[in-house]
Amino acid sequence: MAMLEVKDIQVYYGMIQAIKGISFEVNEGEIIALIGANGAGKTTTLQTITGLVSPKHGEIFFEGQDITKIPAHKIVSMGMAHVPEGRRVFAQLSVLDNLKLGAFTRKDKEEIEETLVRVYKRFPRLEERKNQMAGTLSGGEQQMLAMGRALMSHPKIILMDEPSMGLSPIFVNEIFDIIQEVSKSGTTVLLVEQNAKKALSIANRGYVLETGKIVLEGDAKMLLDNDQVKKAYLGE
């Protein structure tokens, strides 16, 4: 059984259909890349899975349970975390307070502290800057903070929306290394990314989204070698 199953979801914004009946699945332990041009519907897909947007049609199952109509905050406590596009850190709060907000669904103080230690180990820069206002961090550091905050909820699956957007090449490499580490430590990853080459190079499988439809799917290495993908997304 797949950990996450999306079945024929259709999403409308007013009269405009943004998602035109897409289905895909994510198995436990995988890194799945969802790639496509701007406006293909990648962000809407993630927001629909995490309950921020309601589909007009279709179903979403998480660990066998139908979560289609469950509110977003309850989905988080079921073990799903979302790192939104544009990072969305709380600029006026310290790095530490941002991280603690990531654990709001958890009650055990001791476990929260243990998770914090693990997050600091993975992101030493966040520990160095724990008392700094999040708004004063660089773009790359804010991305790390957004990822660290999501990991504080101790998720089974983490959905990341454009983690490399607007970052310098050095930070892009660092962020992708971290995504692989997160995966190796047992968290399943669904990755939406415009940097198709990078995303497919670390993913197990990929789905290509075009104007609200999945037009290609398969093994990530196979997609990297696909002429259609190369032409459209890899600039070759």
pLDDT in tens, 153-172: 889 999 999 998 888 888 88
HEC sequence for 78-117: CCEEEECCCCCCCCCCEHHHHHHHCCCCCCCHHHHHHHHH
pLDDT band at residue 37 using 50, 70 and 90 as cut-offs: confident
pLDDT band at residue 25 using 50, 70 and 90 as cut-offs: very high
Q: How many CA atoms lie within 13 A of 179 on its CB side?
A: 31
Q: What digits encode the pLDDT tens for the residues 111-154?
A: 888 889 989 988 998 999 999 999 899 888 898 899 999 999 88
Give the pLDDT score at 204.
97
Could you tell me the residue ranges of all domains in the chain? 4-85+154-233
Q: What digits encode the pLDDT tens for the residues 210-226?
A: 999 999 999 999 999 98
Give the pLDDT score at 39.
83
Q: What is the three-class DSSP state of 157?
A: strand
Q: How many CA atoms lie within 13 A of 156 on its CB side?
A: 14
Q: What is the three-class DSSP state of 154?
A: coil
CATH fold, domain 4-85+154-233, is Rossmann fold (3.40.50)
Cβ pair 175, 129 in contact under 8 A: no
| Res 38 pLDDT > 90 | no
From the list 192, 182, 122, the residue with the least C-alpha distance to 156 is 182
Rounded to whole angstroms, the Cα distance separating 147 from 60 reads: 24
Task: Look up the pTM and report it.
Answer: 0.89
| Res 31 pLDDT > 90 | yes
Give the pLDDT score at 180.
93
Task: Determine the average pLDDT of the residues in 19-47.
Answer: 93
Rounded to whole angstroms, the Cα distance separating 11 from 3 reads: 22
Q: What digits encode the pLDDT tens for the residues 43-62?
A: 999 999 999 999 999 999 99
Give the pLDDT score at 236.
58
Give the pLDDT score at 109.
85
pLDDT band at residue 232 using 50, 70 and 90 as cut-offs: confident
Phi, psi of 163 (to 5 degrees): -65, -20
For β-strands 205-210 and 188-192, DSSP reports them as unpaired
